[in-house]
Amino acid sequence: MGDEGRAVVKTYVPPEQKSVWREHADDLDMSQSEYLRTMVQAGRKGFLTGPEEGGSGDATPGGDGLEDRVLDVVDSAGVVSWDELVAELSGDFEDRLDDAVQTLSENGTIRFDPRREGYVRQKDT
């Protein structure tokens, strides 16, 4: 899958801030990328102010929120094909999968085996 229609955004924060964000993302069962996108979008929509103060009140923190994400894509593009929706929204899964594989590799649960050209579970030794 390509990255058409997506761009990398980088930011630098103190390690303590990243740790807090990572922990909150984990609590919400989100990747760090998904967490940051969600929080930025929520802040832009007045999410934290509540519906009586202009926020939508429709966001679902910690939940799937797929309907909200579909609406965000449609609102930003105007007209979106099925394939464009799939491409836009499946990126979150890729980010989460990448984070999971990285975590499992870092803690020694899995490793990449070049001979087999794939990931394998580490044997307990």
Other beta carbons within 10 Å of 51: 11
Residues 10 and 31: their CA atoms lie apart, in Å, by 15
pLDDT in tens, the chain (125 residues): 455 677 778 888 788 888 888 888 888 888 888 888 888 877 766 544 444 444 344 444 444 577 888 888 888 888 888 888 888 877 777 777 888 888 888 888 998 889 988 999 987 54
β-pairing, 118-121 vs 110-113, is antiparallel
| DSSP, res 53 | G
Q: How far is CA 102 from CA 6, 70, 90, 97, 106, in A?
A: 21, 28, 18, 8, 6
As given in the structure block, the two tokens for residue 47 are 């999410």
